[in-house]
Structure 1
Amino acid sequence: MSWLHTPQTGPEGGASIVITPITHDIGGLRVRRALPHAKRRMVGPFVFLDHIGPARFEPGHGLDVRPHPHIGLATVTYLMRGRILHRDTLGSSQEIRPGEVNWMTAGRGIAHSERTPPNTRTRAQPILGIQSWVALPKAAEESEPGFFHYQGESLPQLEADGIVARVIAGQAYGATSPVRVFCGTLYVDVSLNAGASLKLPDEHEERSVQIISGEIEIGGERHGEGLLLLFRPGDAITIRARRDSRLMLLGGEPMDGPRHIWWNFVSSSRERIEQAKEDWLRQRFGVVAGDERDFIPLPGATP
């Protein structure tokens, strides 16, 4: 019997919270935002979760997220279709493709932009992926900013009958991703064939499942595309695919206290966020190399 679908011991649990994402616009693209939400602000270190697409850019169009700042978090970009060009104030310029990971640690402060690469805009382009933010522990909130790119073949990929699981960050199913994390993290891309069953890892206290496509059944209840399902610590959870499905498993250890979120800033301190506002207003974050002509103004600031 495969470790991916080992029978549960004890009663089988179901979702304790079901979140229907709210649709937002980012850089000309509509996305589904599941976190933060009134029902739950965080899951493990994850404080922000955008389900991008599936969508299609027509020739001449693309994603255009202008330079903007961050503090106190790390951004994690993972694509299933399409390409995005990342640039930042460290001088990084990195195109991300499906199956790869862009991890940007903001720490004390960084600014970046995300755009469809110019050389791909001449033709129609699909896009599908997840962008998440993970909060940094208090001891790392003011760490040096950094940018790290990981090729898809560097990520552990586990396969069983009808199941493919890729560990994006943290640990799951006995495998550890090379992506550097700051606390216990669960972040796995899972594809399930119709009829396949998967045991949700139980070593992480906070766990959730985001349904990218398809339909699944947990604890006798069916759930479809776009939903974020959260589970109680310690509950035995088995995911059964009613149709071919793709999921993101995410969570980890609880964060060391609440986090305040304002625009693109995350911090354990409201005062620190006020300082970040002033820093962006006074252009103290630096310039995004290769994208110097444009930026997103501070919301609510007087022109």
Structure 2
Amino acid sequence: MIEMVIEQRRRSLGGGLEVGRVLPFAKRRMVGPFIFFDHMGPLDVAAGADRSLDVRPHPHIGLSTVTYLFSGEIMHRDSVGSEQAIRPREVNWMTAGSGITHSERFEKARASGDHLHGIQAWVALPTADEETAPSFSHHAGADLPHWNDGGVAGHLIAGSAYGLTAAARTHSPLFYAHLDMEPGATAEVPAGHPERALYVATGAVEVDGARYDAGKMLVLGADVSALRAVERSAVMLLGGEPVGERYLYWNFVSSSHDRLAQAAEDWKAGRMKLPDADDQEFIPLPDAPLPTPAKA
């Protein structure tokens, strides 16, 4: 059975860039360790676009960000010295741990135009790893196992599924995959995880005899084992072991509300190092005082 259907809510990030916010949702804050899920674009950007499209340097703690593109290019720079463009079917995996800052610049789009479309997810770290040293890794090609079977072209982004394991280091059991499905094709939903979901990025799918169109996340019961593409579709499958309740404020995730407050104060006071190659501007802490956030 389908436990819940979550429809994306459109949000503007400025500069004409819109995202479809899926997680967190008021009635379902997390799926396994996945605490945040944004569908970026699709957006056509003309050459010469304003720099307001960029995401200026900002901080994170207690999570890993996972960026995956269907099309376009984003330049990542961070405070551990990374400078890495991400392109379609590649993964930028950034573990914030005790604290990291990064920017996401659309330099190619501004220079020559681009079609931007992708997904950014956040994975909450287990309590024992929340203060791990920050790190960054980029993955492409053989790092992301892929397969073709019966009209389904699959890419494993992270974790283990379908008898395969992706290269990015994860801190808890999870899976995250992208399936391109031809009309009428069927695909297995990985089992063996207590929480699972699928997100229809494009097209439409059928699960348990019902049709679900693009922009919807289906939180799946244990009995759901397959899906069928009604038309050509791009589908994200995700899930894993829950890591426990989490507080979420702005770009910070933690099992401790006090730790969130400390991170907010550190950013406001300028105690978090900016990216080495992008340290001339930053996104300020939101004007509103730190609330007592609902637990994720």
Q: Same fold (TM over 0.5)?
A: yes
Aligned to 1:133: 122
2:277 aligned with 1:287, yes or no? no
Residue 54 of structure 1 aligns to a residue whose secondary structure is strand
> How far 1:113 sits from its partner (Å)?
0.4
Aligned to 1:297: 284
Alignment of 1:56-67 (within 5 A): 56-61=44-49, 63-67=53-57
> How far 1:26 sits from its partner (Å)?
2.0
Residue 266 of structure 1 aligns to a residue whose secondary structure is strand
2:242 to 254, 259, 265: 254
Q: Distance in 2 between matches of 1:236 and 1:251?
A: 13
Q: What fraction of aligned residue pairs are identical, expressed as a percent?
A: 49
Alignment size in residue pairs: 286
TM-score of the pair, normalised by structure 1: 0.92
Q: Distance in 2 between matches of 1:260 and 1:113?
A: 23
| The 10-residue stretch of structure 1 (239-248 or 59-68) with the greater mean CA deviation from structure 2 | 59-68
For the 8 Å contact 2:208–2:224, the answer to whether it is kept is: no
Aligned to 1:265: 252
Moved beyond 3 Å, runs of 4+: none
1:81 to 46, 71, 86: 71
Alignment of 1:192-211 (within 5 A): 192-211=181-200
Deviations 1:3-51 (A, max 9, x none): xxxxxxxxxxx32100011111224210001000012000011000000
Instruction: Flag the 1:301–1:19 CA change in 2: closer, same or farther, 3 A.
Output: closer
> How far 1:182 sits from its partner (Å)?
0.5
Residue 2 of structure 2 aligns to a residue whose secondary structure is coil
2:103 aligned with 1:113, yes or no? yes
Aligned to 1:237: 225
> How far 1:229 sits from its partner (Å)?
0.5
Residue 211 of structure 1 aligns to a residue whose secondary structure is strand
For the 8 Å contact 2:44–2:114, the answer to whether it is kept is: yes
Deviations 1:135-163 (A, max 9, x none): 00000000000011112332110211101
> How far 1:301 sits from its partner (Å)?
6.4
Deviations 1:42-67 (A, max 9, x none): 00110000001111111112640010
Alignment of 1:18-33 (within 5 A): 18-28=5-15, 29-33=17-21
Unaligned runs of 5+ in 1: 1-13
Aligned to 1:157: 146
| The 10-residue stretch of structure 1 (217-226 or 152-161) with the greater mean CA deviation from structure 2 | 152-161
Q: Distance in 2 between matches of 1:288 and 1:199?
A: 41
2:261 aligned with 1:274, yes or no? yes
Deviations 1:55-92 (A, max 9, x none): 11111126400100000001010011000000111111
The amino acid of 1:247's aligned partner reads V
Deviations 1:226-285 (A, max 9, x none): 1011012x2133201110111000111111x20000000000000000000110011111
The amino acid of 1:40's aligned partner reads R
Residue 201 of structure 1 aligns to a residue whose secondary structure is coil
For the 8 Å contact 1:219–1:237, the answer to whether it is kept is: no
For the 8 Å contact 2:200–2:235, the answer to whether it is kept is: yes
Aligned to 2:213: 224
Q: Distance in 2 between matches of 1:46 and 1:122?
A: 34
> How far 1:120 sits from its partner (Å)?
4.5
1:70 to 60, 74, 95: 60
**Structure 1 vs Structure 2 CA RMSD:** 1.3
For the 8 Å contact 1:169–1:178, the answer to whether it is kept is: yes
Q: Distance in 2 between matches of 1:60 and 1:157?
A: 36
1:41 to 22, 29, 36: 29
Q: Distance in 1 between matches of 2:103 and 2:285?
A: 15
For the 8 Å contact 2:46–2:109, the answer to whether it is kept is: no
Residue 16 of structure 1 aligns to a residue whose secondary structure is strand
